[in-house]
Structure 1
Amino acid sequence: MTKAELYKKACMLPLLPGVYIIRDKSGTIIYIGKAKRLRIRVSQYFREGVPHDNKVSQMIAHAYAFDVIVCQSEFEALVLEASQIKAHTPKYNILLKDDKGYSYIKVTRDEWPRLSFTLQKEDDGAEYIGPYTSSFAARQMAETAMDAFLLPRCSRRFPQEIGRGRPCLNAHIGKCMAVCSGRISRENYEQAVKSAVHLIRYGKKDILKTLNERMLEASDRLEFETAALIRDQIAAITKVTAGQKVVVDPDVEMDVVALAGTPGSVCAAVLRFREGRLTDKREFLFHDTADIAAVREEFLPRYYLDDEQIPKVIAVDELPPDVDALQQALNEKRGSEVQLYVPQRGDKAHLVEMAHTNAVERLARESGRYAREEKLLDELAQVLGLPKPPRTIESYDISNWGDGTSVCGMVTFRDGKPYKAGYRKFKMKTVAGTDDYASLAETVSRRAAEYEKYSEMAANGEPSSNYFGQKPDLLLMDGGRGQVSAAKAALAGTALADVPLYGMVKDDHHRTRAIVDSEGREIAINMNRGTFTFVTAIQDETHRFANAYRKQQMKQKSYSSTLTEVPGVGPKTAKALMAQFKSVSAVKEATPDQLENTPGVGRQMAQTIYEYFHPQG
């Protein structure tokens, strides 16, 4: 349907509340909204001459049809809209994603468990508490629990390093129980970790009561060291929690929400207060829109009616137009009355100002960051004569060592920043000896082959998220004419042959001097400070990454050669041992039974290895 036809259809809608569903030409739902009066709201999208921001204009341009669901009330429409958006996640509805990802608190299952904050959940058998949507809250809880129960933060391994060396500074200033001293029993340590986990999961109220009971019991049993340890833990919990400033009534659960905007983006900041203290801060960015009122109207129900816990009080900078329906929905979901209001004066009004300041600061940071990176990429495109700024840049460097072995490091910059998911390591398969040109040719040939493989899979309906399935906008080689010429010849006839290719030339002091194009011509960049600094950063990062990989390989080779000194252990067995235990020291500490679990190592070989490292055993 044309825009005029859609407008004509919209003018026939009733003046009743409801939900409207807009679809594109393929029938895919691209936007879901609610309206107090369907005819007025929907017709505004398709009436000629009505101004819209960039995001809404894009949605209208792709709109081909729409449906409506008439509801009995605005409240019913709001609840239905929230459920439909959650079910379909339309492209042009706001996505409630902050930039933090999920965070966890990790508790290992070692003999002496360790507690830590982490951003990744791994399949390593550890217990993971979470996920938390805020790294701020997760990190604060982990730090509080470790402070309260005096848990170690160091890298020492227990029980291997118990009794070795002096306790660290944390023990001397009362922030660690000093497991390394040998004075802490494993039972007391495990109980401290369990109590820390309980504090994280349930808060301080129950744990203080439990600890007081355990302290009295230990004292009655004349276990004075245990009682003293628990006493210190109680004191630490009290001190840590008292050190957090109370900013609102301790009995009130409260969220503070404020929005701010620029000509191209809107940011919503949410401050969460629990037990009178700030426990979390979240920021949500919405690009391609400047309509703060429209974002607010959609954000509040989406945020609270999805899966978010609803507090007793929600203080906002401005109420949405559908406040009565939203109020009713919040009350029903919480099961009790929620106070949704705009504070006019006092401490809570100041907190709303604080949330607004956070939103403004975030927009300022984003605006400055994007502006700097856009400028850098534009300048680089002009210097190199590229038709458009290179969003994805790949850089390659060969690193050699004395025995003629070579490796290559590949780093990726996306939108002007290092993109670690695009980093790759290459070990030469076909090149014998030290030959930078041949090694670079092998590397880029393998890169092109990987791209072609994943492109074919995507064409056959099997798309992959592997980075190698993406085509870069610019290829940079660490080196001059020779390196560029070798890479160009290797890429000829491949799917990457049309990607602009340049070399990064260094001077006698190993500093970036110029860029060499695929025809061997030098382009001076020292007059363009931004480009010079950016290319130098890319070259330095590539060199660092390639060298780190070379050193890693050398270290593994060195470790393997140490193991080959054991009678009967050849390179293959040494490699298997390193794969199993990760380090020579771990092999030395392993028991015969543990060594026997290594592929290719039988009982007799395991005993030989053990006796070699334990001659007095």
Structure 2
Amino acid sequence: MTKAELYQKACMLPMLPGVYIIRDKSDTIIYIGKAKRLRVRVSQYFREGVPHDNKVTQMIAHAYTFDVIVCQSEFEALVLEASQIKAHTPKYNILLKDGKGYSYIKITREEWPRLSFALQKDEDGAEYIGPYTSAFAAREMAESAMDAFLLPRCNKRFPQDIGKGRPCLNAHIGKCMGVCSGKISCEEYNQAVKNAARLIRYGKKEILKTLHQRMEEAAERLEFETAALLRDQIAAITKLSAGQKVVVDPDVEMDVIALAGTPRSVCAAVLRFREGRLTDKREFVFHDTADVDAVREEFLPRYYLDDEQVPRVVAVDALPPDADALRQALSEKRGSEVQLYIPQRGDKAHLIEMAHTNAVERLARESGRYAREEKLLDELAQVLGLSAPPQWIESYDISNWGDGSSVCGMVTFREGKPYKPGYRRFKIQTVAGTDDYASLAETMTRRAAEYDKYAALAAEGNPSENAFGKKPDLFLMDGGKGQVSAARQALAGTALADVPLYGMVKDDHHRTRAIVDSAGREIAINMNRGTFTFITAIQDETHRFANEYRKQQMKKKSYSSTLTEIPGIGPKTAKALLTQFKTVGAVKEATPDQLAQTPGVGGQTAQTIYDYFHPAEAGE
């Protein structure tokens, strides 16, 4: 549908609350929103002359049709919108990422378990508490728990290292129970780890009550060493608690939220207060928009109605238009009444100012980063003689190994920063043996073909966000004149032939030395610190990405070759098994019935595979 047709359709909508779902030409959902009056909200997107920020303008440009779901109330629309966004994650709805990822607290499963902070959850059989959206909060909780229960932080292995050498400094200053001294039993140690986990999960009130009871029982049994250890743990928890400044009523669970904006982005800052103390701070930056009110309206329900814990009090700098519906939704999720309001005076009003200051400071840091990156791109343009700063840079590196196989890694830098959605990997298909020049030529030929494909789709009215559909401002090859010439010849006569192309030359110590053009002329960059650092970062990232892909392929080949040693199993079947089970170990543990579920693997072949890994059973 055209924009005029979409506007006419919107004008026929009812003046009732509901949810609208906007789709692109491929029928993909690109935006979901709620409205108090559907006709008013949806029609404003498609009415001529209505100004929109950059994000909304892009969404409208890709809109092809829309559907609506009429609801009985604003509350029903708000809850439905949140569930639909969570189910479909549309491209133009705000993404609640604060750049920190998820973090965990890890407890190993062994005779003498260890507690630590972890950035990710591994398949290692350990117990993981979390996930936590804040690495800061998770790390602080892990450190506090280890301090409270005097858990070891060293690399010693227990019980192997018990009694070997003197205890470390932490044991001497009272920060470790000194397991290595041999004075702590395995049972006592495991109980301390369990108590640390309870402190993390449930807070200090419950664990202090339990520790007091256990200390009294130990004293009654005349187990004075145990009682003294429990006493020290109680004192440590009390000391940790006292060392944190109380800023609000200790009985209040409260989040304080404020937003700030610039002409190019908006930041939402969230301060979390639990038991009267500031326990966490989160910041969310949304680019390509300057509409603070619109971001607030979408952010608040998204933040709380997905998976976030709802506190008793939510203090905000301004209420969204659907405040009553949001308050009802938060109360229902929490299971008790939630206070959503704007503090007018006193300490809580000051906390709103504090949150707003954090949002402003984050935007200032973002602006500073943009300014630094823009300066780097300006300098690079001057060094290379480009007509404009290169906003979209693609860099390529060939990586090969002993059997003649090669791969190529392509990394993308957008506005001076690595742009991971633009990274691509190429498995070299037409080159026999190790030939970096030919491999690079194949890669660039395929790159140009991909660009032509997406350019044709755009000409037909089907624009794509795929990175291959973007024409770069600059190509960089890892290597010298030979690599540059091979890439330039491959691009000759294509739509990418006019893109500036240079090589990144390294010295004998594998460090970036200069940039080289297709004529073999070197452009010294070591005198320009900013450009030198920037090019080095691009070259190192490209090399890392290409090598990572090569190692991954080598590992797959190694796994595959293990399976092809089984009689009757060829490369195709080995690949199917690895696709189904991921690892050779999983194939080994699978039953014949499970193996037979692999495409192309029948019952007889499944039994052959099983017997290969279980010869004792096969011989019975």
* TM-score with structure 1 setting the length: 0.73
For residues 133-170 of structure 1, what are the alpha-carbon distances to aligned partners after superposition, in whole Å with 9 as ceiling and x for unaligned? 22122111111110100111122222222223332222
One-letter code aligned to 1:307 = D
How far apart are 1:48 and its partner, in Å?
Answer: 1.4
1:226-265 to structure 2, matched below 5 A, reads 226-265=226-265
My pick for the range that moved more, 378-387 or 54-63, is: 378-387
Asked if the contact 2:20–2:38 (Cα under 8 Å) also holds between the matched residues in 1, the reply is yes
How far apart are 1:198 and its partner, in Å?
Answer: 1.2
Asked if the contact 1:7–1:46 (Cα under 8 Å) also holds between the matched residues in 2, the reply is yes
* TM-score with structure 2 setting the length: 0.73
Query: In 2, distance between residues paired with 1:230 and 1:153?
Result: 20
Asked if the contact 1:501–1:517 (Cα under 8 Å) also holds between the matched residues in 2, the reply is yes
How far apart are 1:74 and its partner, in Å?
Answer: 2.2
Query: In 2, distance between residues paired with 1:208 and 1:392?
Result: 57
One-letter code aligned to 2:230 = I
Query: In 2, distance between residues paired with 1:66 and 1:128?
Result: 42
Asked if the contact 1:444–1:490 (Cα under 8 Å) also holds between the matched residues in 2, the reply is no
Question: Is 1:159 equivalent to 2:127 in the alignment?
Answer: no
For residues 377-431 of structure 1, what are the alpha-carbon distances to aligned partners after superposition, in whole Å with 9 as ceiling and x for unaligned? 45435534678444443467999xxxxxxx999896744457899899x9xxx99
How far apart are 1:70 and its partner, in Å?
Answer: 2.8
Q: 1:510 to 1:305 in 2, by over 3 A?
A: closer
One-letter code aligned to 1:393 = S
My pick for the range that moved more, 194-203 or 504-513, is: 504-513
1:106 alignment partner, SS class: strand
Cα RMSD, aligned residues only:
4.5
1:34-183 to structure 2, matched below 5 A, reads 34-183=34-183
Question: Is 1:286 equivalent to 2:308 in the alignment?
Answer: no
Residue in 2 aligned with 1:514? 514
My pick for the range that moved more, 414-423 or 269-278, is: 414-423
Residue in 1 aligned with 2:478? 477
Residue in 2 aligned with 1:201? 201
Query: In 1, distance between residues paired with 2:155 and 2:424?
Result: 27
Residue in 1 aligned with 2:30? 30
Query: In 2, distance between residues paired with 1:349 and 1:449?
Result: 61
One-letter code aligned to 1:249 = D
Q: 1:69 to 1:365 in 2, by over 3 A?
A: same
Q: 1:409 to 1:88 in 2, by over 3 A?
A: closer
2:283 alignment partner, SS class: strand
Question: Is 1:364 equivalent to 2:364 in the alignment?
Answer: yes
My pick for the range that moved more, 15-24 or 173-182, is: 15-24
Residue in 2 aligned with 1:570? none
Query: In 1, distance between residues paired with 2:130 and 2:361?
Result: 29
Q: 1:423 to 1:25 in 2, by over 3 A?
A: closer
Q: 1:23 to 1:506 in 2, by over 3 A?
A: closer
How far apart are 1:71 and its partner, in Å?
Answer: 2.7
Q: 1:390 to 1:319 in 2, by over 3 A?
A: closer
Residue in 1 aligned with 2:576? none
Query: In 2, distance between residues paired with 1:156 and 1:423?
Result: 42
2:273 alignment partner, SS class: strand
How far apart are 1:484 and its partner, in Å?
Answer: 6.3
Q: 1:179 to 1:523 in 2, by over 3 A?
A: same
1:415-430 to structure 2, matched below 5 A, reads 415=414, 416=416
One-letter code aligned to 2:54 = N
One-letter code aligned to 2:241 = T
Question: Is 1:393 equivalent to 2:391 in the alignment?
Answer: no
Query: In 2, distance between residues paired with 1:170 and 1:268?
Result: 40
One-letter code aligned to 2:244 = Q
How far apart are 1:505 and its partner, in Å?
Answer: 4.7
Query: In 2, distance between residues paired with 1:283 and 1:102?
Result: 14
Asked if the contact 1:316–1:341 (Cα under 8 Å) also holds between the matched residues in 2, the reply is yes
My pick for the range that moved more, 124-133 or 442-451, is: 442-451
1:249-328 to structure 2, matched below 5 A, reads 249-328=249-328
For residues 490-543 of structure 1, what are the alpha-carbon distances to aligned partners after superposition, in whole Å with 9 as ceiling and x for unaligned? 9899x9x97976444567999755322233111233564421332345567899
1:404-423 to structure 2, matched below 5 A, reads 414-415=413-414, 416=416
How far apart are 1:116 and its partner, in Å?
Answer: 0.5
Asked if the contact 2:392–2:412 (Cα under 8 Å) also holds between the matched residues in 1, the reply is no
How far apart are 1:361 and its partner, in Å?
Answer: 1.4
Q: 1:38 to 1:501 in 2, by over 3 A?
A: closer
Query: In 1, distance between residues paired with 2:537 and 2:132?
Result: 34
Asked if the contact 1:377–1:391 (Cα under 8 Å) also holds between the matched residues in 2, the reply is no
1:129 alignment partner, SS class: strand
2:319 alignment partner, SS class: coil
Unmatched runs of 5 consecutive residues or more in structure 2: 455-466, 549-584, 586-620
Residue in 2 aligned with 1:330? 330
One-letter code aligned to 1:11 = C
For residues 564-588 of structure 1, what are the alpha-carbon distances to aligned partners after superposition, in whole Å with 9 as ceiling and x for unaligned? xxxxxxxxxxxxxxxx9xxxxxxxx
One-letter code aligned to 2:478 = M
Asked if the contact 1:378–1:389 (Cα under 8 Å) also holds between the matched residues in 2, the reply is no
Query: In 1, distance between residues paired with 2:221 and 2:408?
Result: 62
One-letter code aligned to 2:183 = R
One-letter code aligned to 2:233 = Q
Asked if the contact 1:215–1:227 (Cα under 8 Å) also holds between the matched residues in 2, the reply is yes
Q: 1:503 to 1:58 in 2, by over 3 A?
A: closer
One-letter code aligned to 1:521 = R
Query: In 1, distance between residues paired with 2:69 and 2:487?
Result: 59
Q: 1:42 to 1:540 in 2, by over 3 A?
A: closer
Asked if the contact 2:31–2:90 (Cα under 8 Å) also holds between the matched residues in 1, the reply is yes
2:515 alignment partner, SS class: strand
How far apart are 1:448 and its partner, in Å?
Answer: 8.4
For residues 100-158 of structure 1, what are the alpha-carbon distances to aligned partners after superposition, in whole Å with 9 as ceiling and x for unaligned? 11111111123221111011111111111111122122111111110100111122222
Q: How many residues align?
A: 529
One-letter code aligned to 1:153 = R
Q: 1:474 to 1:126 in 2, by over 3 A?
A: farther
My pick for the range that moved more, 53-62 or 6-15, is: 6-15
Asked if the contact 2:267–2:359 (Cα under 8 Å) also holds between the matched residues in 1, the reply is yes
Q: 1:158 to 1:408 in 2, by over 3 A?
A: farther
How far apart are 1:202 and its partner, in Å?
Answer: 1.4
